[in-house]
């Protein structure tokens, strides 16, 4: 049958252009709609959505957040997603004409339009849908703390890393003995890490050198490249840089956020992305407040210049992210219940009473755990 002059079958509308067919279907979901499109590669660059830019902003290179709406990509298979500002509009594209896509006949991209509630809620709902659509279930973050190093200051950096509880030493230069670097890291109980640009052959070579942690910069926001890196690195730690969370989803062990001038409040806001990927921040210089927020929210930290200890929370939850002041409630590793009140550039701690209990766990001969609780 036809609807509005377009062929319609099994819930899908077909739009023919130059002897190719674009197919799309719309599905009602809670708080809005999900739209799935199958786009022939010959369409090259397709405008997927376009929204007025008034009071809206791009979040995570994958969605547009307005005061009472969120429009964002949900999943894509083939092609590159892009969001561009064009005059008064923010426009989402699927770009299918990059080199390497010739083999495919179609790309798929789905996106959602959520509206009618506060943006804070809609953003959380959007990220939940992304996680569900991509079958991601993330348990509490297990990010690493990382210290960068070169060959000249290696011994000093190893000492510093151990002193500050960093688990990874990240090499940022290649002019030296990579074997020595890897050996020294291993001898000191650290993971040998390296920062590189995406290049499959080179990654393979570094893997064979024994590196265990890779911070890979991807020039293109192309999921095929991330897939390739994962294939090369197998089970080693792969942390991506330069791409959107949706491009790395389910493929990497983390994503480095661009942290140029990121306020404390942005740090809290961006932590919502941890619903779909573990996050890392790179810091040249930092304040105590910065590290407290990173620890409370489970961010992996890459220290560029000097390192410090990051105290990670056992669990945490974030209150209003878009309000003037965000609230982070968390339990530290000693079960001390704390509250942070975070405004743009300042943080106020409201320490609450520590748990009055201490726990001793015993393992019985039959394999059962017994947890004894007593007053401190």
Partner 1 sequence: MMRGEKMLELRYNPLTDEWIIVSAETQRRPVQPSQQSCPICAGGIELPEEYDLVAFENRFPALKRQPPQIHEEGGFFQKARSFGVCEVVVYTKDHNTALPGMPLKQVEKLVEMWIDRTIELSKHDFVKYVFIFENRGKEVGASLSHPHGQIYAFPFVPKRVQAKIEAMGKWYQEKKECLICQVVGNETKDRKRIVYETSSFVALVPFYARFPFEVHVYPKRHVTTVFELSSRERSEFAKVLKVVTAKYDGLFDQEFPYMMMFFQKPFNCNLRSDLFHFHVEFNPPKRDKDKIKWMASVETGTWTFINPVLPEESARMLREVKVEGI
In sequence order, what DSSP letters do the residues of 126-192 get, joined into one string? HHHHHHHHTT--PPSP-PPEEEEE-STTHHHHHHHHHHTT--EEEE---SS-HHHHHHHHHHTT-EE
- Which of 277, 271, 273 is CA-nearest to residue 290? 271
Neighbours of 210 (CB within 10 A): 15
In sequence order, what DSSP letters do the residues of 265-276 get, joined into one string? HHHHHHGGGGGT
Q: Of residues 98, 220, 339, 341, which one binds partner 1 by CB under 8 A?
A: 339
From residue 110 to residue 129, the character string flagging contacts with partner 1 as x (rule: CB under 8 A) and all else as - is ------xxx--x--xx--x-
Cα gap 115→119, rounded to integer Å: 8
- Which of 272, 229, 268 is CA-nearest to residue 247? 229
Helices and strands: H and E segment counts in the chain: 8, 26
Q: How far is residue 107 from each of residues 13, 36, 86, measured CA to CA in Å?
A: 16, 11, 24
Q: Which is nearer to partner 1, 192 or 313 (CB)?
A: 313
Q: Of residues 22, 337, 341, 343, which one binds partner 1 by CB under 8 A?
A: 337
Q: Residue 28 interacts with partner 1 (CB under 8 A)?
A: no
Q: Residue 353 interacts with partner 1 (CB under 8 A)?
A: yes
Q: Residue 331 interacts with partner 1 (CB under 8 A)?
A: yes
Cα gap 114→69, rounded to integer Å: 6
Q: How far is the CB of 344 from partner 1 (least distance, A)?
A: 24
Which parts of 59-118 interact with partner 1 (CB under 8 A)?
116-118
Q: Of residues 27, 85, 132, 348, which one binds partner 1 by CB under 8 A?
A: 132
Q: Which is nearer to partner 1, 5 or 367 (CB)?
A: 367
Cα gap 231→227, rounded to integer Å: 6
C-alpha distance across the termini of the chain, in Å: 74
Q: Residue 370 interacts with partner 1 (CB under 8 A)?
A: yes
Stretch that binds partner 1, among 78-86, 135-143, 198-206, 278-286 (CB under 8 A): 135-143
Q: Of residues 52, 152, 314, 344, which one binds partner 1 by CB under 8 A?
A: 314
Which region, left, alpha or beta, applies to residue 24 given φ > 0 means left and ψ of -120 to 50 means alpha? beta
Q: Of residues 10, 19, 139, 324, which one binds partner 1 by CB under 8 A?
A: 139
Q: Which is nearer to partner 1, 83 or 297 (CB)?
A: 297
Q: Which is nearer to partner 1, 283 or 331 (CB)?
A: 331
Q: How far is the CB of 185 from partner 1 (least distance, A)?
A: 28
Binding site for partner 1 (CB under 8 A): 30-31, 116-118, 121, 124-125, 128, 131-132, 136-137, 139-140, 314-315, 317, 329, 331, 335, 337, 339, 352-353, 355-357, 359, 366-375
């Amino acid at each position: 049958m036809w609807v509005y002059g377009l062929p319609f079958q099994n819930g899908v509308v077909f739009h023919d252009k130059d002897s190719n067919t674009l197919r799309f279907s719309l599905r009602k979901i809670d708080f809005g709609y999900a739209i799935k499109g199958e786009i022939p590669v010959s369409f090259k660059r397709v405008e997927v959505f376009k929204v007025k830019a008034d009071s809206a902003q791009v979040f995570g290179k994958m969605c547009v957040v307005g005061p009472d709406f969120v429009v964002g990509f949900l999943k894509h298979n083939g092609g590159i997603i892009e969001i561009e500002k064009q005059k008064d509009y923010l426009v989402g594209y699927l770009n299918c004409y990059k080199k390497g896509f010739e083999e495919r006949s179609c790309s798929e991209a789905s996106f959602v339009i959520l509206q009618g509630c506060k943006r804070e809620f809609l953003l959380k709902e959007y990220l939940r849908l992304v996680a569900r659509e991509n079958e991601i279930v993330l348990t509490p973050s297990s990010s690493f703390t990382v210290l960068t190093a070169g060959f000249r200051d290696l011994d000093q950096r190893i000492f510093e890393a151990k002193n500050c509880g960093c688990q990874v030493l990240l090499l940022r230069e290649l002019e030296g003995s990579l074997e020595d670097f890897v050996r020294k890291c291993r001898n000191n109980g650290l993971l040998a890490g390296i920062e590189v640009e995406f290049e499959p052959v080179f990654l393979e070579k570094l893997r064979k050198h024994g590196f265990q942690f890779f911070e890979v910069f991807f020039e293109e926001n192309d999921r095929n490249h991330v897939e390739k890196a994962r294939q090369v690195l197998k089970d080693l730690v792969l942390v991506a840089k330069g791409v959107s969370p949706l491009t790395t989803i389910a493929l990497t062990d983390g994503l480095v956020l661009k942290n140029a001038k990121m306020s404390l409040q942005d740090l809290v806001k961006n932590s919502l992305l941890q619903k779909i990927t573990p996050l890392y921040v790179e810091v040249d210089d930092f304040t105590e407040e910065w590290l407290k927020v990173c620890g409370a929210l489970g961010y992996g930290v890459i220290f560029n210049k000097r390192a410090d200890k990051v105290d990670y929370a056992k669990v945490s939850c974030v209150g209003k992210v878009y309000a003037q002041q965000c609230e982070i409630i968390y339990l530290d590793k000693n079960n001390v219940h704390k509250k942070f009140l975070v405004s743009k550039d300042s943080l106020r701690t409201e320490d609450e009473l520590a748990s009055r209990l201490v726990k001793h766990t015993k393992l019985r001969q039959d394999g059962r755990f017994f947890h004894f609780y007593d007053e401190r």
